[in-house]
Structure 1
Amino acid sequence: MQQASVETFSDLIGSIYDCVITPERWTGVLDEICAELGFATGALSVASLTNMKAVVNAVSGSDLAVMTQNAIGYGPDIIELWGGAARIQQYPLGEPIVQSQAVPQAVISGNRYYREWALPKGLFDAVAVGLVRDKAMVGNAIFSQHESAGPVDDGQIAGLRLLAPHIRRAVTISNLFDMKTVEATTFAATVEALKVGVVLADEESKIVHSNAAATAMLEAQDPILMRHGRIAVQSAATTTTLQSAVAQAAKDEATLGQKGIGIPIPRPGGDPLVIHVLPLRRSPTRSGLIQRAAAALFVASAAGPPRLPHDALSQLYDLTPAEIRIFELICEGQTRDAISQSLGVAVSTVKSHLVHVFQKTGCRRQVDLVRLARSLTFPV
């Protein structure tokens, strides 16, 4: 397939963020992604592990209502089709995993779900993208390839890789709203009722509004505070990262990418917290929520304790989850071939991510990456 234009992706990314406020739009978004990237079907599933309820459950494509019903009886077979539960845990979040590259063909061909359901429909391959995997939620997006379209190509992978962080941000924030549709007329009341802190800021990170939870945080100066009218935290480096994400969200949400997803807030005490940044301006759906606000900042509990150097690599060097995982495995002494096999991606993909790691960190050799990892093991 041909690479989609920036303009097309911008519209699509805007539609993804609209799903935060109007979750019933997810099916339409999946339709758009399938049409744009040439997939036959698409499914988005995010479930809460606290109450075992679906946060998002949307499907797109022919016969998918029937497929969804049939998939219930094929649960173990579908897990096996992706290499098993332990293998799935190793796949980096946000990285498209091509089934035919990650799992031996003999395993795929002998799989009951593949033989009885996918193959008769002409669906001979699939791509999965992990969206969230923590103590609170688990979620994935899976796109199937019809045999008439040929093998999954680099353009499809590149498109999913670009869209993945936006989908991840949208479903994470959707969970904070408990997947309820938010009307512009009731947005203020909805935000006010949220237990998480919500700050609305303009393009310069100046605070336009804060709900009761965020106001209490600002008054206590923990974990957020106000400096010259702008949202900030105690850490200067984290404040820079946060304000940069807000500025980028206001300027061009399509290029926001990984920035602003779960920014960790260093705290001397208390439970770990993170900040998620939701762009507001570009879409009429979101821009109508409140005047002057360029972004909504959600201060929420972290899914787990801060991980160093993992969080530092994301915060300081803007590494993606896939790049961080490869960084970690390289530092453990694994070869590129071994990483390719464990993560279920092509060796060329590992090499490409590693090039990005070197470029972003300024390192030239693998030994330099090891030194960098050691330097980030403790707060600096």
Structure 2
Amino acid sequence: MQQQASVEKFSDLIGDIYDCVITPGRWTAVLDEICAEFGFATGALSVASLTNMKAVVNAVSGSDLTLMARNAIAYGPDIIELWGGAARIQQYPLGEPIVQSQAVGQDVISSNRYYREWALPKGLFDAVAVGLVRDKAMVGNAIFSQHESAGPIDDGQIGGLRLLAPHIRRAVTISNLFDMKAVEAATFAATVEALAVGVVLADGDSNIVHSNAAATAMLDAGDPILAQDGRIAVQSTATTTALQSAVAQAAQDEATLGQKGIGIPIPRTSGDPLVIHVLPLRRSPMRSGLIQRATAALFVASASGPPRLPHDALVQLYDLTPAEIRIFELICEGQTRDAISAMLGVSISTVKSHLIHVFEKTGCRRQVDLVRLAKSLTFPV
């Protein structure tokens, strides 16, 4: 009940996050909202495309963007060190808030050049980072700093960011497909039609309302998407169920959609990996006026790599959070709870809590059962 109340509390903020897909210039205002809601002193959102080396999103709150960019250049290695180094950062689960003071020792923080010369003089004594995307196509994260006057970063702040993270991840991923162009309601159809990726607009029952040229070609070929009695579907029954469930949830209450509908892996006869991203449309006047009857836009895009197994299946079948999935993976690799705690920069009790949730959601009772489950998920759902 407490989590549901939190979702409802942040529903307007989540709606504002999705509006940023249509108007990327609103990201700064969204960061302002997040900082005000949770008491952070500064916030920065940075997502860059590695294919054309352009920023997909670059926004800050509570600081000057030019100055932040300068710091990123001047203190780049120091900032990476402040989060445990490049190799350690790669281990952090996407979408899971990582508190700096818990991830690295105080001796590392105190001796860090960026911390001593920039953060500490401004009273910024701690920070929390959320990895948003990390693949061969894009890299991005959000970082929020805590002022010493606000006290230690607490569970309320972490829980709030954990709820918002999948919505931010979905928004920045789809923003990249639009190449950062603001989309006006009057020209939305034309913009969608011109996209190289397939776009299907659907109602709450997954009935196809409209498809652009790329998606129409896919539907005509029945590869990788198809129409079943007018409803969007794919060859895999399990994936179709997951997809239609995400569309229904987007129509009913986008705030509770979570990470469902982000990068749903779908097979193609050629073997090329594709994914579907589900963008809710109904709640916001800005998005609801785009196409009548449509409650969700489904983007069929190239995947940044082959399906991650069993990662993608765990998301769609068991609704595991990013942190739960990462711990699942590490347990299956033979890592101990102590090792996982040190690797991810979280307490032993946090690891145990996540593991309990993994057991509950998957129906497994022992760690050996998790290993068997991972081996059974041979193909993407």
Q: Which amino acid aligns with 1:351?
A: K
Q: Would the alpha carbon gap of residues 287 and 75 (structure 1) be closer, same or farther in structure 2, given more than 3 Å must change?
A: same
Bigger shift: 241-250 or 344-353? Answer: 344-353
Q: State the partner residue of 1:322.
A: 323
Q: State the partner residue of 1:159.
A: 160
SS at match of 1:297: strand
SS at match of 1:157: helix
CA distance in 2, matches of 1:181, 1:267: 31
Q: Would the alpha carbon gap of residues 373 and 78 (structure 1) be closer, same or farther in structure 2, given more than 3 Å must change?
A: same
Q: State the partner residue of 1:206.
A: 207
Give the conservation status (yes or no) of the 8 Å contact 2:224–2:269: no
**For 1:160-196, what per-residue CA distance to the aligned partner results, in whole angstroms no more than 9, with x for missing partners?**
0000000000000000000110000000000000000
Q: Which amino acid aligns with 2:233?
A: A
SS at match of 1:139: strand
CA distance in 2, matches of 1:50, 1:372: 35
**For 1:344-380, what per-residue CA distance to the aligned partner results, in whole angstroms no more than 9, with x for missing partners?**
2222221221122111101111111111112113578
Q: State the partner residue of 1:373.
A: 374
SS at match of 1:124: strand
Q: Which amino acid aligns with 1:207?
A: I
CA distance in 2, matches of 1:217, 1:67: 43
What are the ranges of 5 or more consecutive residues in structure 1 without an aligned counterpart? none
Bigger shift: 11-20 or 326-335? Answer: 326-335
SS at match of 2:152: coil
Q: State the partner residue of 1:41.
A: 42
Bigger shift: 165-174 or 78-87? Answer: 78-87
Scaled by the length of structure 2, the TM-score of the pair is 0.97
SS at match of 1:142: strand
CA distance in 2, matches of 1:102, 1:368: 29
CA apart distance, 1:314? 1.6
Scaled by the length of structure 1, the TM-score of the pair is 0.97
Q: State the partner residue of 2:103.
A: 102
User: What pairs with 1:1-380 in structure 2 (closer than 5 Å)?
Assistant: 5-62=6-63, 65-378=66-379
CA distance in 1, matches of 2:6, 2:320: 24
Bigger shift: 349-358 or 151-160? Answer: 349-358
**For 1:252-309, what per-residue CA distance to the aligned partner results, in whole angstroms no more than 9, with x for missing partners?**
0000001000000023433110000000000000001010000000000011011222
Q: Which amino acid aligns with 1:319?
A: L
Q: Which amino acid aligns with 1:140?
A: N
Q: What is the aligned-residue identity percentage?
A: 89
CA distance in 2, matches of 1:378, 1:183: 40
Q: Would the alpha carbon gap of residues 87 and 379 (structure 1) be closer, same or farther in structure 2, given more than 3 Å must change?
A: closer
SS at match of 1:245: helix
SS at match of 2:316: helix
Q: Would the alpha carbon gap of residues 206 and 289 (structure 1) be closer, same or farther in structure 2, given more than 3 Å must change?
A: same
| Equivalent residues, number | 379
CA distance in 2, matches of 1:104, 1:241: 41
CA distance in 1, matches of 2:380, 2:123: 52
**For 1:56-107, what per-residue CA distance to the aligned partner results, in whole angstroms no more than 9, with x for missing partners?**
0000014565344333211111111111111111110000000000011111
Q: Would the alpha carbon gap of residues 201 and 151 (structure 1) be closer, same or farther in structure 2, given more than 3 Å must change?
A: same
Give the conservation status (yes or no) of the 8 Å contact 2:265–2:380: no
Bigger shift: 109-118 or 330-339? Answer: 330-339
CA distance in 2, matches of 1:268, 1:213: 17
SS at match of 2:350: helix
CA distance in 2, matches of 1:361, 1:341: 25
CA distance in 1, matches of 2:32, 2:70: 19
**For 1:201-250, what per-residue CA distance to the aligned partner results, in whole angstroms no more than 9, with x for missing partners?**
00000000000000000000000000000000000000000000000000
CA distance in 2, matches of 1:42, 1:180: 23
What are the ranges of 5 or more consecutive residues in structure 2 without an aligned counterpart? none
Bigger shift: 135-144 or 73-82? Answer: 73-82
Q: Which amino acid aligns with 1:156?
A: Q
CA distance in 1, matches of 2:119, 2:65: 11
CA apart distance, 1:6? 3.8
Q: Would the alpha carbon gap of residues 379 and 290 (structure 1) be closer, same or farther in structure 2, given more than 3 Å must change?
A: closer
Q: Which amino acid aligns with 1:295?
A: A
Bigger shift: 37-46 or 305-314? Answer: 305-314
SS at match of 2:307: coil
CA distance in 1, matches of 2:367, 2:232: 37
CA distance in 1, matches of 2:6, 2:265: 33
Give the conservation status (yes or no) of the 8 Å contact 2:266–2:380: no
Give the conservation status (yes or no) of the 8 Å contact 2:124–2:146: yes
Q: Which amino acid aligns with 1:183?
A: E
Q: Which amino acid aligns with 1:280?
A: L
Q: Would the alpha carbon gap of residues 186 and 327 (structure 1) be closer, same or farther in structure 2, given more than 3 Å must change?
A: same
Q: Which amino acid aligns with 1:262?
A: G
**For 1:143-176, what per-residue CA distance to the aligned partner results, in whole angstroms no more than 9, with x for missing partners?**
0000011111111100000000000000000000
